[in-house]
Amino acid sequence: MTLFLILGVVFLGVALMVILGEKFGKPLEQKDQQKYSKIIMILVFVALFAALIKALL
């Protein structure tokens, strides 16, 4: 029962983010998108490297 409650809350949260994102969100400019892409690539690399170190220790 608890699992269904958690899944329901997660589903409602995601649905709320999608609805509000479509209503109030604006498209990214090309420069902003490139900037965020570079930052996300670095963060993903750091997260994978940290997970690898954690798994080895």
This prediction has a pTM of 0.55
Span 10-33, pLDDT tens digits: 999 999 999 999 999 888 899 999
**29-34 long-range Cβ contacts below 8 angstroms, 24+ apart:** none
pLDDT confidence of residue 53: 96
Confidence of residue 45 (pLDDT cuts 50, 70, 90): very high
Q: DSSP state, 24?
A: H
User: In the chain, where are the structural domains located?
Assistant: 2-56
C-alpha neighbours within 13 Å on the C-beta side of residue 14: 5
- Please give the mean pLDDT across all residues of the chain: 94
